[in-house]
Structure 1
Amino acid sequence: MSGLGQSGVTAVKWSAVSTLARFVLQLVAQIILARTLGPEIFGIFAIGMVVLTFATFFSGFGFSWSLLQRPTLCDEDVRFAWTWQLVVGLITMLGVYLLAPALSAYFREPRAQSVIEWLSIACLLSAAAAPSTYLLQRDLNFRAGGLIQVGSYMAGYVTVGVPMAILGWGATSLVAAWLVQAAVALVASYVVKPHAVRPLFWYADAASAVGTGRAVFLTNIVNWMLNNLDRVMIGRLLNAQALGLYNVAYNLAAMPNNLLLGALQPAFLAAGARLQGELDRLGRAYFQMLATIFVLVFPVFVFLALESNDLVHLLYGSKWSDAGSVLCILFLIMPAYVIWGLSTPVLWNTGRKYYESVLQLPILAIGALGFYFFAHQGLQAAATVAALVLVLRAVVVGTTAFRALKLSWIELLPDVGRGMILSALCAISVKAGQAAVSDYEMPLLSLAASTLTALGVLTLLLVIRPQILGVQSATMVIRFFPGMAQLLSRANPSTQRGPITNPVSEQRL
């Protein structure tokens, strides 16, 4: 990856492998749980998760984030972060528990009260695990971090959640799965990355840590509001059934997105922290990733959007059919979420840590008005508003990142054009494959036919004209898949004598 060096590429590879494994586990577990429990139970649990994610920002407050951002660390830094993570985590846990009746009343869903009460425990668990988690990221040890994520998810959902759901425990099975996952992650992360646990409430450099934590906290609050505004309004204005349908559609749409961000963002943030004084290298890495998103990632989401109805029927069954149109809208907009997620580390690594929260406040207001006026019209309207909010976030934060790195959107236009061409070809191929088997009304056959058609067309195009990828995307692919160097070297006429390389990319951190 140009600008980040081989250690950054290795970190991304390990992060990608672990995220992919978790993606597969999550998909299988969620399919079984969704088919077993149904939309209404998922909606009740989603209410608890909306509350939990908000409370988690309070319990964290960003103390451990400062461990990732500091150029050097001492024992006092870790002890201070650990102490206050526990204190704030405990206070938040108690606050969520006591507010559970009022929160369930707001959503007009009494059954959500016990879910919120039990999930309050996760506030303390996640806060306690944060120091070790961020220390592992600081070390670029994504191998261990990935194994912890996969193992804890398997312990929570595969070992506990799925069996309980099959036995009829309803929403309790989802709560138990989440708590077990959080507990296992806490223990495993500390075992892999132990740290000092003696309390320390203040020290000489505490003000700096608190300042970073305050910036993280404010940013996270704004991001939570933008990420969960749709769920809050749907849960309030519609019902648990609608929220369950929307939440499952969103989670499915976000799975590939989380795979990308889970692999790229932590490594980019950690490695980028070491390049804070080298904006040129950081800019090249950022630009290359955005070019790859437009050329390679956007066509994939177009393909998934057109397959939405088949995917819903095949994976979740007919009782989830209303989620198909919502899933289509969300798939189309997920590349914007990836762009936003990769732009935020740029702001943090260029001394603009408050920009993200401040710049997104107007978007929050626009989104709130949009959901208030249109969410009652149904899930498709709510999904459309959520899509527009994501686009605005990507444009605002991405433009700010470009300015921070002295880049220009105009330079990205050729790659945007390539992505549009590939997306159009993908859409035509999918529609042709679906039309060929439309008489059979079999989701699996339709999915297989359209997938084979799209893959065939795009593979043929890549063989005949690899230049369609452009230099940036071809270079990125070769960095992670060296075996494709001979084929993709034709994407750059200036490198006919060998594979595409960038001298800067060979530097190490």
Structure 2
Amino acid sequence: MFWTALSMGALAVAELVALLVLARLLSPNEFGLYAAALVVIKFSAIFEGLGVAPAIVQRPELEERHLRVGFTLSLILSIFVAGLVWTTAPAIADVLRLPELAPVVRICCIIFLCQGVAMVAQACAQRALRFRWLAAVDACAFAIGFVIVGPVLAVLGFGIWALVGALVTQHFVRMLAILVGQSHPKRLMLERRAIGELLYFGGGFTLARIFNYLASQVDRLVVGRWLGAEALGVYSLASQLMTTPAVIVGQILDRVLFPTMALVQQEQTRLARAYRSSVAACALLVLPASVVVAIVAPEIVLVLLGAGWQGVVAPLQILACGMLFRTSYKLSDSVSRATGVVYARAWRQAIFVTAVALGAVIGQSWGVTGVAFGVVAAVATNFMLMAQLSLRVTGLSWFEFAAAHFPGIALAGVVGSGVWVTADLLRQAQVTPLTILLEVALLSCAAGLVLCSVLPALFLGRDGRSALRLVAGMAPWLQRSRPG
């Protein structure tokens, strides 16, 4: 978890710096084309591999035939998806009314081939829990692509191809590094039994992934259709401000917990303990943060977006209330995939899509805030459905599940009360929004540390204290792990 979080944090900072540099060298039109190409590539990537890599990670007993068949399937599927996107690129460009998009999308098809070749090797590395090595590979590949190649091409006047070249270079370098650093059988093989075993899991995984993608987009479609472009802009910014941290935390948890839980999927006691501890840690971190964000949302909007975006405040506050549901359900997602109940997961994600659509359609009668309420209700429904599935496979009771959240709720209540009073006093004193944010951040962090130190039984709970002991024990291990 430590290495994955460190890697994603470093990548986020590096990406911001690289984009700031490239923004000074390229035009908004070129960035727009690149963004449109990414939408096409990311959606198409859902179908690439059909869940073969997660199936390899999840299998209780992995044989050489699974690796050989998985490698063969990943090659075939990546070539098929790349060919399909290449062929339909002009039609996609016509639909989006961006004639310059077709050649950009076609060159980006190289990414599918790189991912297909490295797919099984990456799955083997995840199965072996080589998170530190994978983090280093991701960081180096991004640096070569977007810190070196992209800016150089931009300075030389390649325009949009500087961004495309950076992206393709990143994936190509990553493919080479993973293939060299993680060995696996590469002789091609197609065996009916192994294909069925891999694609049975992969099919359910892909279905759930499609529904998840639709759930993340359908609310925006409803807002754009019924409330117009201006409301869509307000809602999109509020949603992005709220969902980005939840997505990052969820990705960190999922990258580590899925392969880790898959290793102990047949040991229900260990699986239940891991799930309960993860839920408790998530509540302890996310609940206080969501309360603080809801309180200082006006200052967040003023500092990040400016005075012209006051309409973002209300939907941001409402969406902040659903931060735990959006983050914690990722834990249930990891458990369901680790134990192979992918079709039970898939139909729950189908209900999630329906709930988001209904919540958004009903809520649009009350504007953007109504849509936000409807989406939070849908996310809460999905959280409960996925929790029920996780409790079923781990044997954990609803009481134990609820008890894991109590320390986080207590900490959020006390910290939130202090932040509310402090923010109100600072506003009355007409302190600048940036100063309010800084003082609230310091107060909430200090208050959280003091409360957890003075009353650990109440504000940390059993799982929190266990996690704290684990983190404290990492110091000598990190010292030993330094190179040289």
Relative to the length of structure 2, the TM-score reads: 0.82
Residues 305-345 of structure 1 show CA distances to partners (whole Å, capped at 9, x for unaligned) of: 44445445545666777655554444442322222111123
Residues 184-210 of structure 1 show CA distances to partners (whole Å, capped at 9, x for unaligned) of: 322222222143433323365332122
State whether residues 250 and 328 of structure 2, in contact with CA within 8 Å, keep that contact through their aligned partners in structure 1: no
With over 3 angstroms needed to count, the CA separation of the structure-2 counterparts of 1:192 and 1:32, relative to structure 1, is same
SS in 2 for 1:292: helix
Percent sequence identity is 27
State whether residues 299 and 422 of structure 1, in contact with CA within 8 Å, keep that contact through their aligned partners in structure 2: yes
Structure 1 residue aligned with 2:446: 456
The answer to whether the aligner puts 1:473 opposite 2:464 as a matched pair is: yes
SS in 1 for 2:466: helix
The answer to whether the aligner puts 1:445 opposite 2:425 as a matched pair is: no
Structure 2 residue aligned with 1:497: none
Structure 1 residue aligned with 2:331: 342
State whether residues 43 and 247 of structure 1, in contact with CA within 8 Å, keep that contact through their aligned partners in structure 2: no
State whether residues 363 and 372 of structure 2, in contact with CA within 8 Å, keep that contact through their aligned partners in structure 1: no
With over 3 angstroms needed to count, the CA separation of the structure-2 counterparts of 1:323 and 1:31, relative to structure 1, is farther
Structure 2 residue aligned with 1:213: 202
With over 3 angstroms needed to count, the CA separation of the structure-2 counterparts of 1:193 and 1:174, relative to structure 1, is same
Following superposition, the deviation at residue 356 of structure 1 comes to 0.5
Out of 1, 13, 18, the position equivalent to 1:24 is 13
SS in 2 for 1:73: coil
Following superposition, the deviation at residue 285 of structure 1 comes to 1.1
In 2, Cα distance between the equivalents of 1:177 and 1:231?
30
In 1, Cα distance between the equivalents of 2:2 and 2:41?
30
Structure 2 residue aligned with 1:360: 349
In 2, Cα distance between the equivalents of 1:354 and 1:20?
33
Q: Letter of the aligned partner of 1:63 in structure 2?
A: V
In 2, Cα distance between the equivalents of 1:170 and 1:252?
29
In 1, Cα distance between the equivalents of 2:310 and 2:112?
34
SS in 2 for 1:277: coil
Out of 106, 112, 115, the position equivalent to 1:123 is 112
User: What is the aligned-residue RMSD (CA, Å)?
Assistant: 3.9
State whether residues 59 and 90 of structure 1, in contact with CA within 8 Å, keep that contact through their aligned partners in structure 2: no
Q: How does 1:282-321 map to 2 (within 5 A)?
A: 282-315=271-304
Name structure 1 gaps, 5 residues minimum: 1-11, 485-509
In 2, Cα distance between the equivalents of 1:407 and 1:167?
59
With over 3 angstroms needed to count, the CA separation of the structure-2 counterparts of 1:155 and 1:483, relative to structure 1, is closer
State whether residues 279 and 405 of structure 1, in contact with CA within 8 Å, keep that contact through their aligned partners in structure 2: yes
In 1, Cα distance between the equivalents of 2:181 and 2:222?
40
Out of 215, 229, 251, the position equivalent to 2:218 is 229
Following superposition, the deviation at residue 145 of structure 1 comes to 0.8
The answer to whether the aligner puts 1:264 opposite 2:237 as a matched pair is: no
State whether residues 294 and 416 of structure 1, in contact with CA within 8 Å, keep that contact through their aligned partners in structure 2: yes
Q: Letter of the aligned partner of 1:472 in structure 2?
A: D
In 2, Cα distance between the equivalents of 1:132 and 1:319?
49
In 1, Cα distance between the equivalents of 2:271 and 2:220?
35
Residues 28-75 of structure 1 show CA distances to partners (whole Å, capped at 9, x for unaligned) of: 556777899999987765554443332112112112222212234344
Following superposition, the deviation at residue 299 of structure 1 comes to 0.8
In 2, Cα distance between the equivalents of 1:401 and 1:348?
10
State whether residues 437 and 449 of structure 1, in contact with CA within 8 Å, keep that contact through their aligned partners in structure 2: no
Out of 200, 204, 222, the position equivalent to 2:189 is 200
User: After alignment, is 385-394 or 43-52 more displaced?
Assistant: 43-52
Structure 2 residue aligned with 1:182: 171
Q: Letter of the aligned partner of 1:256 in structure 2?
A: P
Following superposition, the deviation at residue 223 of structure 1 comes to 2.0
Out of 272, 276, 296, the position equivalent to 2:265 is 276
In 1, Cα distance between the equivalents of 2:264 and 2:56?
16
Q: Letter of the aligned partner of 2:454 in structure 1?
A: I
User: After alignment, is 217-226 or 46-55 more displaced?
Assistant: 46-55
Q: Which has the higher contact order (CA 8 A, sep 6+)?
A: 1
SS in 1 for 2:342: coil
SS in 2 for 1:262: helix
User: After alignment, is 337-346 or 181-190 more displaced?
Assistant: 181-190
Q: Letter of the aligned partner of 2:249 in structure 1?
A: L
Name structure 2 gaps, 5 residues minimum: 476-484
The answer to whether the aligner puts 1:148 opposite 2:131 as a matched pair is: no
In 2, Cα distance between the equivalents of 1:186 and 1:244?
37
With over 3 angstroms needed to count, the CA separation of the structure-2 counterparts of 1:226 and 1:295, relative to structure 1, is same
Structure 2 residue aligned with 1:431: 420
Following superposition, the deviation at residue 142 of structure 1 comes to 0.3
Following superposition, the deviation at residue 386 of structure 1 comes to 3.7
State whether residues 272 and 396 of structure 2, in contact with CA within 8 Å, keep that contact through their aligned partners in structure 1: yes
In 2, Cα distance between the equivalents of 1:20 and 1:321?
29
In 2, Cα distance between the equivalents of 1:39 and 1:330?
30
